[in-house]
Amino acid sequence: MPRLPGAALRRRPARRARAALAQARAVPDAERERGADRAADLAASSCPTSARRSRSCDVSWRRRAGSATRSKVSEVSLHPFRHLYVHIPFCKHKCGYCDFNAYAGMDRLMPDYVDALERELGFARERYTFQELETVYLGGGTPSLLPPHLIARLLGFIRRELNVATDAEVTLEANPASTDEARIEAWMKGGVNRLSLGVQGFDPRALAVLERKTDAAQATRAFRLARAMGMANISVDLIYAVPYQDMAAWIETLRRAIALGPDHVSTYCLSFEEGTLLHRRRAEGRVPEVDSDLQWDQLDAACVELEAAGFRRYEVSNWSRPGFESRHNQAYWRCRPVYGAGAGAHSYATDGTGAWRWWNVARPREYIAATPSPRADGEELEPRKAVAESLMLGLRTADGMTAPAGFDAELSRLVRAGLVERRSGRIVPTRRGLDLHNQIALAVL
């Protein structure tokens, strides 16, 4: 229900969440929940879809669902790729919360890495069919760290060799600290028409906890510079539930982000991933736990502030003005084939019946040495698993999806729990379902 910005939050979503779980009779044990989280992460690049067929390939995969035996896929006729993800793993500094495949202190590898990307993409072009690419996404790491001449070269190669559609969405992730006039000019000349700016916050204390090496002034300056130079589609990333960040600081962060005039906002709940510096500091008692009610209240505040500013929550963590939804991310949620290039990048493919995903060697030096064929491993998805993952991803979006056959019992439980509802043959998440999407994942995977 709409309310005035800054008004007291009346709902207590943490208690509401527990009630929903009890109603669904699906309170998970810790190991099962961790398994669902891992499955959800993997599923981000693996969903069945239908499209025109492409060239054949002969590959062998490990079947992870069910037995651990290898299944031979001979002469699979894969659907073409229309979406490309390119991973740029370089960072000036790896933030304490980051568990992405990112590396600091390897800038000298950048020229060799771009060479390797071109080798991989050239090899992939010969092996698979790339129809007109509808989206290209350069993620990281920090893609904005690439010098202008290297990013211009890489973007030029992709456009020449992979047939990018004239109206394609081409996104580049940028850190405010490495967003300058020369780089923006190179990005835009190379075809970048959407900038994803990693602001993360404006509150100095929260930025210090996150170990961000940028500040509010840099973020504001980077955004305004990109807009002034003609970047018409800019997304801003924010993180909430940060230790020491109270409600007032979070609302101020939201309002400062909105005041910039972005077209898209992503709000991510901070997670303490094992192996990160922040996880270790919390285990040592150097970083406090975040109150669960405060975490949910901050999510509620994001809903109120962003909706009041004209944004629509079209996915669990993503908000946009009309027409500015991330087309590349929608390809994942709608289970379209995506080719992932670069160190640690994941790909997903289908032939209309079966589904496969694979991933590349993760470390940059090993990736460079392994190109043009840097694949590390892959898996074939059993049919029910593929449909389950497509259902899980489809229910991340506010529009939901057509209810698939074979999941009536699971969906009925979710309806009773108030997490989803049926609308004209579609199954869509409720507001509660968007807030508690992990419970949807547990129910269907």
DSSP output for 351-402: -SS-EEEEEE--SHHHHHHHTT--EEEEEEEPHHHHHHHHHHHHTTBTT-EE
Spatial distance between the Cα atoms of 193 and 170, rounded to a whole number of angstroms: 6
Q: Coil, strand or helix: which one is 198?
A: strand
pLDDT of residue 22: 38
Phi and psi at residue 432, in whole multiples of 5°?
-60, -40
Contact 190, 151 (CB under 8 A): yes
Spatial distance between the Cα atoms of 387 and 407, rounded to a whole number of angstroms: 9
Residues 6+ apart with CB under 8 A from 213: 92, 93, 177
Q: Coil, strand or helix: which one is 39?
A: helix
Contact 295, 356 (CB under 8 A): no
Spatial distance between the Cα atoms of 36 and 184, rounded to a whole number of angstroms: 39
Is the link from the previous residue into 141 a cis peptide, with omega within 30 of 0? yes
pLDDT of residue 55: 30
Spatial distance between the Cα atoms of 355 and 337, rounded to a whole number of angstroms: 9
Residue with tokens 């229309």: 82
Q: What is the pTM of this model?
A: 0.85
Residue 218: count of CB within 10 angstroms of its CB = 17
What would the DSSP string read from start to end of 310-354?
A: T-EEEETTEEE-TT-S-HHHHHHHTT--BEEESTT-EEEEE-SS-
> C-alpha angle 163/100/283, rounded to 5°?
170
Strand-pair partners of 236: 197, 265
Q: Name the helix (H) or strand (E) containing 29.
A: none
Nearest to 378 by CA among 110, 129, 76, 49: 76
For the 52-333 domain, the top CATH level (class) is alpha beta
Spatial distance between the Cα atoms of 387 and 420, rounded to a whole number of angstroms: 17
Strand 355-360 versus strand 339-341 pairing type = unpaired
Q: Name the helix (H) or strand (E) containing 155.
A: helix 148-162
CA distances for 275 relative to 181, 279, 290, angstroms: 36, 7, 19
Q: What is the mean pLDDT of each run of 10 residues along the chain (445 residues)?
A: 33 38 37 41 37 31 37 60 98 89 95 98 95 97 97 97 96 97 98 97 91 92 98 98 95 98 97 88 89 95 98 98 98 95 96 90 98 95 92 97 94 96 94 96 93
406, 429, 379, 132 alpha-carbon torsion, rounded to 10°: 110
pLDDT of residue 76: 59
Spatial distance between the Cα atoms of 399 and 44, rounded to a whole number of angstroms: 17
pLDDT of residue 77: 82
Is the link from the previous residue into 372 a cis peptide, with omega within 30 of 0? yes
CA distances for 407 relative to 268, 387, 434, angstroms: 29, 9, 19
Q: What are the residue boundaries of the structural domains of the chain, listed by start?
A: 13-42+395-444, 52-333
pLDDT of residue 425: 86
Residue 380 CA to its chain's centroid (Å): 22
Spatial distance between the Cα atoms of 12 and 300, rounded to a whole number of angstroms: 9
**What tokens appear for 88 in the block?**
């740029």
Contact 88, 139 (CB under 8 A): yes
